[in-house]
Amino acid sequence: MTDNSSGILTGMAEASLQKCLGRLSKVSAGTWEILGITASRGTIEDAVKRHEFKNPAASAVYLNIAELPLLAMMMFDPDDMENISNCFMGYSFSRGPVTTQAEEMMLLELANIILNSLINSSLNALKKSAMPSVPVYLEGDSGRLVSGLGAVAGLNKNFHIIAATLVIRSKKGVSRSEVFALIPEELALELEPAK
């Protein structure tokens, strides 16, 4: 993939995420910002390793578009649940020893909003249309997340990875989350004629 096609995907993803996070900041109790956005190549494992596993486990929500295939995911640190819920809903879930069903539903809804924005920008850049799947929640260590995502999109498949780090701020704290669009190399190559 050339710098041109990489720039197209990254630019459209950044613009779409900025718009989405601006809307979230207006209607929620926190502020949502992009700390940085990058493009690289790699496998699902390469993407998952970009998350800073401060704890043994992380939460991930993913959307899959099987007919293309295209995968998008958002990763959270479970210890940030109180701040994330406060920023998104205006009140905090107290963090317990395990993720509750209410916390899982909140992360699914939040990621659904953000990941659809990211997927739509990728589809627009590729001049494609498709319906994403229902978001799916995973939690575990790096190996469990890679295994779960690999079963959906191919463990050794090479992707063009658009990665954005988000900062989520409230009066009570600051959290980070990573958002990824994983575009198969063969699909990303379709941008080449658009130079």
pLDDT of residue 147: 92
Mean pLDDT of 123-141: 84
CB-CB neighbours of 101 under 10 Å: 7
Note the pLDDT tens digit of each residue in 74-109. 999 888 889 999 999 888 877 777 888 999 999 999
3 falls in which pLDDT band (50, 70, 90)?
low
pLDDT for res 129: 81
Contacts (Cβ under 8 Å, ≥6 apart) of 115:
61, 62, 63, 72, 73, 74, 132, 135, 179
β-bridge partners, 65: 70
What is the set of domains in the chain, with CATH numbers? 3-194 (3.40.1550.10)
pLDDT of residue 34: 96
Q: What is the model's pLDDT at position 59? A: 87
Report the pLDDT value the prediction gives residue 75, as an integer from 0 to 100: 93
